[in-house]
Amino acid sequence: AIVTAARGDHARAVWYIIWGAVADAIDGRVARATRTGSKFGEELDSLVDAISFGFAPAIMMYFAVLRKDGFDWFFVFLFAACAVMRLARFNVEQAGRAKTHFHGLPSPVAGGTLATYYWFSQTSLYNQTVISDLPWHMMVRFLMAGLAFLMISNVPYPAMPTFSVKTLRGVIGLILFIVMIFGLIFLPKDFFFPVGMLYVLYGIVASVLKGLLDQDRLPSEEESAA
């Protein structure tokens, strides 16, 4: 992806990052199914993710959208650094454990959302609507910074449910997987960036609402004194 982006073939670079995300989604399941999981595999997975979903999408956006004569290299550094910190924290807190949510935005989602912006910018949905009138050259910088900080935030994001036909959560996971495969095959350029942004915004909105509801449940000073 990095080499292809440096050569100016950004559409193909996005494909490489997406296939990396597909591989990342199934590697743990393959390891568990074949009983080949190990601490070495956990550490290697994080190193690979740091490149595939940290540095690669950031440098691709640098070549595709950002200006190379100023300080835009800083956004590449920021995004890659936050991806590395997010993965290091994941290894300490959540790696190898069953999980229903992630602490902070998962790096494959952050990197995939950032990379697929380029795909989305080439579609008619982008170019033939009011979306194209937005100041995207400036907004991309805020997008990179926002995704970077969400990776190292404490905002909870739901994990992909394990596939199963025995539980409702498992059925939902299977349906989501089928929808993602359908989007990958038939509408990749129109599908992935909007879906990624919906997931990003869902975590923020859900966290804010949960905080407000928890605040409403706090006892008043009178109740606490009593």
> Measuring CA to CA, which residue among 40, 58, 29 is closest to residue 151?
58
User: Do the strands 156-158 and 101-103 form a parallel or antiparallel pair, or are they unpaired?
Assistant: antiparallel
Contacts 24+ apart (CB under 8 A), 93-98: 95/42, 95/46, 96/37, 96/42
> Measuring CA to CA, which residue among 176, 153, 155, 173 is closest to residue 164?
173
Phi-psi region for residue 167, left (φ > 0), alpha (ψ -120 to 50) or beta? Answer: beta
| pLDDT greater at residue 165 or residue 114 | 114
- Residue 144 has a pLDDT of 96
158 beta partners: 101
- Residue 223 has a pLDDT of 52
- Residue 62 has a pLDDT of 94
- Residue 113 has a pLDDT of 96
**What's the whole-model pTM score?**
0.86
* Distance from chain centroid for Cα 141: 16
Residue 98 has pLDDT above 80, yes or no: no
- Residue 220 has a pLDDT of 54
Taking only the tens place, the pLDDT of each residue in 52-78 is 999 999 999 999 988 777 889 999 999
Q: What is the mean pLDDT of residues 189-211?
A: 92
